[in-house]
Amino acid sequence: MAITLRKPDEIAKLKRAGEIVGNTLQYLQNTIKSGMTLKEIDQLGEAYIREQGAVPSFLGLYGFRGSVCTSLNEVCIHGVPTETIIKEGDILGLDIGTKLDGYYGDAAITMAIGTISAEDEALIACSRDALYHTIEQIRPGMRFKELTQLLEEFITSRGFIPLRDYCGHGIGTKPHDEPNIPNYLEGKPNQGPKIKNGMVFCLEPMVCQKSGTPLLLEDKWSVLSEDGLRTSHYEHQIAVVDGKAVILTEATI
């Protein structure tokens, strides 16, 4: 497994692509209201990305039919934008990718539509908090499997379960690269590649309620848990610089 070490000028380019992702997510959070369709949200996201000078990297990627993954309620990841109307009390996952000057950005959030239940608040908080908890502990010399263990232990400590078969990933001049970073541990945490300065990757806790076994819908994209319950997903793109993790996909607006 060859994990690319990025030079400072490359990390700066990745940060510019990442900030457009963060700003697009922030813009959509501020704009989305009940009564909109998933397709309208996708169109808003694509237009905003293009206005910032980037390209929506998910559009057509592996055949995906949209610029924004719009994962509604039970759908955890890869939700396809459709004419489905969102309503008060829904929870909506937004996953966005950009390409700028040959470098990629990628991040995701799960947001509330209006007022949601305490149970859904806890579900969203689990994926968000698992992400930031793990980012804070990243150091060179750790193994990626240790990050996986941290993510799984945090998710299960909140009473939830990580989605299986899908994972975080490296990113750079490709949208998905080595290494794969699951949210559940297989093998021992002291195995596999170590984290080094210059590595850039995405962590993305995907949280289910009773079962982590994935189910793929007929659209061949939307992934949910076999338990059919609501799920949540958060993601940031991270660079390891001077011995610590730097988030590249934070909003600047």
3-state secondary structure of 7: coil
Q: What is the pLDDT of residue 10?
A: 98
Q: What is the pLDDT of residue 218?
A: 95
98 contacts: CB under 8 Å, gap ≥ 6 = 17, 18, 20, 21, 24, 49, 54, 55, 56, 57, 104, 105, 106
Q: What is the pLDDT of residue 2?
A: 87
Q: Which helix (H) or strand (E) holds 179?
A: strand 177-182
Cβ atoms of 80 and 221 within 8 Å: the answer is yes
Give the Cα separation of 7 and 95 in Å (integer).
26
Beta-carbon neighbour count of residue 54 at 10 Å? 23
Cβ atoms of 105 and 249 within 8 Å: the answer is yes
DSSP classification of residue 88 = T
Handedness of CA 198, 106, 176, 46 (dihedral sign): negative
Output the pTM of the full model: 0.97
- Domains annotated for the chain, with CATH where assigned, are 8-247 (3.90.230.10)
In tens digits, the chain (253 residues) has pLDDT values of 689 999 999 999 999 999 999 999 999 999 999 999 999 999 999 999 999 999 999 999 999 999 999 999 999 999 999 999 999 999 999 999 999 999 999 999 999 999 999 999 999 999 999 999 999 999 999 999 999 999 999 999 999 999 999 999 999 999 999 999 999 999 999 999 999 999 999 999 999 999 999 999 999 999 999 999 999 999 999 999 999 999 999 999 9
Sequence-ordered strand ranges (E) for 116-176: 161-162, 167-170
Give the Cα separation of 247 and 58 in Å (integer).
21
DSSP classification of residue 241 = E
